[in-house]
Amino acid sequence: MFVSENLNVNEKGHLTIGGADTVELAEQYDTPLYVMDEQTVRSACRRFKNSIDKYYGGQGLVCYASKAFSCLEMCRIVASEGLGLDAVSIGELYTAVKAGFDVSKIGFHGNNKTNEELEFAVDNKVGHIIVDNISELLRLEEIAKYRNAKPDIMFRIKPGIDAHTHDFVKTGQIDSKFGFALETGEAFEAVKQAIACENVNLMGLHCHIGSQIFDIDPFEEAAKVMLDFIAKIKNELNYEINGLNLGGGFGIKYLNEHDPAPLETYMERVSKVVKNTCSERGINQPYIFIEPGRSIAAPAGITLYTVGARKEIPNIRTYISIDGGMADSPRYILYKSEYEAIVANKANEERTEKVTIAGKCCESGDLIGENMPLQHAESGDIIAVYATGAYNYSMSSNYNRLQKPAVVFVNNGESRIAVKRETLDDIIRNDI
Ligand SMILES: *Cc1c(COP(=O)(O)O)cnc(C)c1O
């Protein structure tokens, strides 16, 4: 019935998350409301970290992909678990720095970093910069030279792997805006150029083949391809690459029928491939980075809404309209992503209907989902949408000048605000 272990029903028949009554949370903090369960975040961090210890002798770092969900509190929690962090913009870097994150454990990504971003990364001594293209390499070399610095860099590589996921979230194939292509020789030429640079240190290669991937095979395939390339660089250029960043993209359970592998399985399987390939190719086992985002944040979160209108269109569908929508939950309109939902104050009741949950924005496509099995919902009921901890708050907008909802963390039944709800004055704050 529930997509994650932090959800339950209490004696009042209310949905709980991390031991907190969601109906009470809705009353206390108002809706729409993002709720994150701290223990679920922590447990995912530990499981990934332990899997590197167990299967790869601890020779690696789990970097939380903060684009999934970033705020000061999230950075502090992830930092306290000993993880690293992957940031994709100066805003994410700034958040992590302000949260006191150990900058040496931060990797900086992006397919089109600005000079301002590169300067910020170099000035703040972030652990490594994942360089996407030659223009960036040359600009970074200049920026570093001017500062007398020599940042560690990795190259983002397109390994040419088909990851069996939605086209918009695939990133490893040759027709992608991210990274250097292997097949065309572009990546090899770029490596030569980086080795010749005096003010950057090429210490690793990176790939990230996509997102919400259930099948482990493409990850194994990607690891092999990357190690082959490391071997080629060693053999032909006599240059050793010691870091291998295998990205993130591990699928999670959005729907009851989804059945992702346990978080440990990835490292269990990929470690074997890495060890075997390294010994076959005669190269050293690299230090491994992995970058889970969704699988750390999504299962920890739910979104609470209040039902307004109920609109029954005979023989067509029933719309249940909520006080949020695409502005706080944009994944449906972007990718037709599916979610499970429940009427949080009727959590023990049967799901007697199939409904369309609609948002309040001025777009017909502004839906949470269609054909969703749900308890009978009426005005004033609280709807909880599951597994919204990733790519919801972080992708939220002020479309229709809606105020962004608050984010609350719960921990063993206690709740606290991590991000305040925007006020009307926030909406016009930058207007002149
Ligand atoms: C988005 C992204 C991730 C995280 O992906 P998830 O699907 O959230 O695990 C990791 N690495 C890179 C480079 C990314 O762009």
Report cis status (omega within 30 of 0) of the bond before 330: no
CB 22 within 8 A of CB 16: yes
Q: How far apart are CA 245 and CA 222, in angstroms?
A: 11
**What is the position in ligand 1's atom list of the atom closest to the CA of 291?**
10
Which pair of structure tokens corresponds to residue 136?
């960036």
**What is the position in ligand 1's atom list of the atom closest to the CA of 247?**
11
pTM comes to 0.96
Least confident window among 147-151, 161-165, 186-190, 361-365? 161-165
Q: Which residues surround ligand 1 with Cβ inside 6 Å?
A: 65, 67-68, 86, 109, 208, 211, 247-250, 291-295, 390
> What CATH architecture does domain 7-37+299-427 belong to?
Beta Barrel (2.40)
> What CATH architecture does domain 109-292 belong to?
Alpha-Beta Barrel (3.20)
pLDDT tens for each residue of 205-232: 999 999 999 999 999 999 999 999 999 9
**What is the position in ligand 1's atom list of the atom closest to the CA of 390?**
8
pLDDT tens for each residue of 48-93: 999 999 999 999 999 999 999 999 999 999 999 999 999 999 999 9
CA of 81 from ligand 1 middle (Å) equals 19
Query: Which of 67, 70, 74, 113 to probe ligand 1 with, by most ligand atoms within 8 A of CB?
Result: 67
Residues of the chain with CATH 3.20.20.10: 109-292
Q: How far apart are CA 263 and CA 44, in angstroms?
A: 8
The active-site residue out of 45, 63, 75, 362 is 362
CA of 63 from ligand 1 middle (Å) equals 10
Is-catalytic flag, 45? no
Q: Binning pLDDT at 50, 70 and 90, where does residue 109 land?
A: very high
Question: If you search the block for the tokens 């608050």, which residue do you land on?
Answer: 406
Which pair of structure tokens corresponds to residue 43?
């447990």
Q: Binning pLDDT at 50, 70 and 90, where does residue 168 land?
A: low
Nearest partner of 41 among 25, 64, 22, judged by Cα: 64
Q: Binning pLDDT at 50, 70 and 90, where does residue 160 land?
A: confident
Query: Which of 208, 263, 288 to probe ligand 1 with, by most ligand atoms within 8 A of CB?
Result: 208
Query: Which of 86, 129, 158 to probe ligand 1 with, by most ligand atoms within 8 A of CB?
Result: 86
Q: How far apart are CA 372 and CA 313, in angstroms?
A: 16
pLDDT at 176 over 90: no
**What is the position in ligand 1's atom list of the atom closest to the CA of 298?**
8
**In this predicted structure, what is the pLDDT of residue 33?**
98
CA of 186 from ligand 1 middle (Å) equals 23
**CA nearest ligand 1 atom 3, residue:** 248
Q: How many CB atoms neighbour CB 130 within 10 A?
A: 28
CB 158 within 8 A of CB 182: yes
CA of 248 from ligand 1 middle (Å) equals 5
What are the φ and ψ backbone dihedral angles of 197, each rounded to 5 degrees?
-75, 140
Q: Binning pLDDT at 50, 70 and 90, where does residue 165 land?
A: low
**What is the position in ligand 1's atom list of the atom closest to the CA of 294?**
8
CA of 282 from ligand 1 middle (Å) equals 30
pLDDT at 169 over 60: no
CA of 208 from ligand 1 middle (Å) equals 7
Question: If you search the block for the tokens 């032909």, which residue do you land on?
Answer: 236
Q: Binning pLDDT at 50, 70 and 90, where does residue 316 land?
A: very high
pLDDT at 170 over 70: no
Encoded amino acid at 51, one letter: S
Query: Which of 176, 291, 331 to probe ligand 1 with, by most ligand atoms within 8 A of CB?
Result: 291
pLDDT tens for each residue of 252-279: 999 999 999 999 999 999 999 999 999 9
Nearest partner of 363 among 397, 312, 339, judged by Cα: 397
CA of 73 from ligand 1 middle (Å) equals 20
Q: How far apart are CA 155 and CA 245, in angstroms?
A: 9
Residues of the chain with CATH 2.40.37.10: 7-37+299-427
